[in-house]
Amino acid sequence: MFLAGVMTIQSELKKQLKNRFFDRIRFDEPMAAHTTFRVGGPADAFVTVTDESEMIYLVKWLKENDLPFFIVGGGTNLLVRDAGIRGVVISMAKGLAKISRQGTTMLSAMAGGSLNALCRFAINHGLAGLNFALGIPGTVGGAIRMNAGAWKGDMSNVLDSIRIICPDGRIESVDKTGLAFSYRSLLISDANGRDLAASVIIEGRFSLSPQSPESLKEEADSLLRARKNSQPTGFASAGCFFRNPDNLESAGKLIDLAGGKGLRVGDAQVSTKHANFIVNRGRATAEDILRLMDIVQEAVFKKFNITLEPEVKIVGD
Ligand SMILES: Cc1cc2nc3c(=O)[nH]c(=O)nc-3n(C[C@H](O)[C@H](O)[C@H](O)COP(=O)(O)OP(=O)(O)OC[C@H]3O[C@@H](n4cnc5c(N)ncnc54)[C@H](O)[C@@H]3O)c2cc1C
């Protein structure tokens, strides 16, 4: 979906985009304004789409004009480099947010809606299965794409199927047989095994089980309290920075034991509360964060001979 390149958008194409999207398209839009890390240089173009037909139109138009695109959800798992993103960044945070109940235990949610709104909807309808996700910021689409998880649960436990827009603009429904989940990752393929990972997720359907709203609320409150107590608040971040290594101590514990807590490059700092959070204390650049990432990786490697891999998506030039 995201293709790095030196291409910029020619003025004729910019004009066409402007004519179609009016004030919903911005050029040279700072990505720092669209990520919870509050860093990231300009996207060549940033479009907010409001409905599915517009998304299909845009995906087709971009293919015809050979322009790369990148979907941003809530921007809560992204580290965008300081030179920004070439091509078109597409946001659907302001549209495509509907949630509906289907039958007794199924919920459908459009990808641009808030994950927390979906979790609350499930609680209010007495449907269990999504409480693990309460407090994870971002959109439904981003959570599906990242197989977001917490408290030993993740999207793979509850996701029944998705609807996607393929890079050629076709709509496809993909059920469990085409969804390969792993830790913070999802591969999507069609019935013939064709890779559809570069598609736009437009909707997710979730299979849940009945439980009383009161007991779900009680569980939700306790999970949210535990989240609040363990995570840093008050500074910008993208959540856990590194993936937990397979079958080993958590990345946070390894960083802590390697003396990483509090390490700092410019305004980028390893949180003193949770060592797997890198926080932006105000004016950090992506470069600061990437330099700090290297320092932390080196410290952990030196002590444990383990290479930590980033969980955040590092994108852009
Ligand atoms: C304070 C904090 C706490 C967090 N806690 C957790 C946690 O407990 N567990 C956890 O798993 N994560 C956590 N995160 C990380 C993040 O919130 C999740 O990964 C979240 O699901 C990302 O959703 P998003 O909409 O922000 O996606 P973005 O960050 O915008 O994008 C992430 C990726 O998904 C892709 N994407 C987004 N939407 C779509 C779409 N519709 N179609 C196709 N691709 C799409 C993007 O292109 C990108 O590659 C935390 C982050 C923060 C800031």
Q: How confident is the model at residue 2 (pLDDT cuts 50, 70, 90)?
A: very low
User: Ligand 1, atom 36: nearest CA belongs to which residue?
Assistant: 142
In whole angstroms, give the CA distance from residue 316 to residue 80.
6
Q: How far apart are the CA of 272 and the centre of ligand 1, in A?
A: 23
Q: Class assignment of domain 232-310? A: alpha beta
Tens of pLDDT, residues 288-299: 999 999 999 999
Q: Which CATH architecture has domain 99-228?
A: 2-Layer Sandwich (3.30)
Kindly report the backbone phi and psi dihedral angles of residue 247, in degrees, each rounded to the nearest multiple of 5, phi listed first: 50, 25
Residue 235 has pLDDT above 70, yes or no: yes
pLDDT mean over 103-131: 97
12 exposed, middle or buried (CB, 10 Å; 0-12, 13-18, 19+)? exposed
> Percent of the chain beyond pLDDT 90?
92
Between 18 and 1, name the one with better pLDDT: 18
Mean of per-residue pLDDT scores for the chain: 95
pLDDT mean over 213-241: 96
CB of 155 closer than 6 A to ligand 1?
A: no
In whole angstroms, give the CA distance from residue 276 to residue 254.
9
In whole angstroms, give the CA distance from residue 237 to residue 77.
9
Instruction: Please say whether the beta carbons of 206 and 159 come within 8 A.
Output: yes
| Residue range(s) occupied by CATH 3.90.78.10 in the chain | 232-310
User: Ligand 1, atom 3: nearest CA belongs to which residue?
Assistant: 239
Q: Which of 56, 64, 53, 72 is nearest to 13 (CA)?
A: 64
What is residue 3's predicted lDDT score, i.e. its pLDDT? 45
Count CB neighbours of 50 within 10 A: 14
Instruction: Please say whether the beta carbons of 89 and 70 come within 8 A.
Output: yes
Instruction: Please say whether the beta carbons of 151 and 135 come within 8 A.
Output: no
What is residue 76's predicted lDDT score, i.e. its pLDDT? 98
For ligand 1, pick from 52, 88, 89, 146 the residue to mutate: most ligand atoms within 8 Å of CB. Answer: 146
In whole angstroms, give the CA distance from residue 265 to residue 279.
11
Count CB neighbours of 234 within 10 A: 8
Of the listed ranges 8-17, 215-224, 249-258, the least confidently predicted one is 8-17
Q: Could you tell me how many residues make up the chain?
A: 317
| Residue range(s) occupied by CATH 3.30.465.10 in the chain | 99-228
What is residue 246's predicted lDDT score, i.e. its pLDDT? 86
DSSP single-letter state for residue 77: S
Instruction: Please say whether the beta carbons of 76 and 38 come within 8 A.
Output: no
In whole angstroms, give the CA distance from residue 55 to residue 132.
30
Which residue is associated with the tokens 């197989």? Answer: 147
Helix or strand (DSSP H, E) at 302: helix 286-304
Q: Which two tokens stand for residue 215?
A: 């007991």
What is residue 21's predicted lDDT score, i.e. its pLDDT? 95
| Residue range(s) occupied by CATH 3.30.43.10 in the chain | 11-91
Q: Which CATH architecture has domain 11-91?
A: 2-Layer Sandwich (3.30)
- Which residues touch 100 (CB under 8 Å, ≥6 apart)? 107, 108
Of the listed ranges 189-203, 215-229, 271-285, the least confidently predicted one is 189-203
Q: Which of 199, 195, 122 is nearest to 158 (CA)?
A: 122
Residue 4 has pLDDT above 50, yes or no: no
Q: How confident is the model at residue 192 (pLDDT cuts 50, 70, 90)?
A: confident
pTM: 0.96
What is residue 7's predicted lDDT score, i.e. its pLDDT? 59
Q: How far apart are the CA of 142 and the centre of ligand 1, in A?
A: 4
Q: Which of 83, 88, 89 is nearest to 34 (CA)?
A: 89
CB of 252 closer than 6 A to ligand 1?
A: no
Residue 195 has pLDDT above 80, yes or no: yes
Q: How far apart are the CA of 256 and the centre of ligand 1, in A?
A: 24
In whole angstroms, give the CA distance from residue 26 to residue 113.
22
Catalytic residue status for 240? yes
User: Ligand 1, atom 11: nearest CA belongs to which residue?
Assistant: 148
What is residue 5's predicted lDDT score, i.e. its pLDDT? 45
DSSP single-letter state for residue 32: G
Q: Are strands 264-265 and 268-270 parallel, antiparallel or unpaired?
A: antiparallel
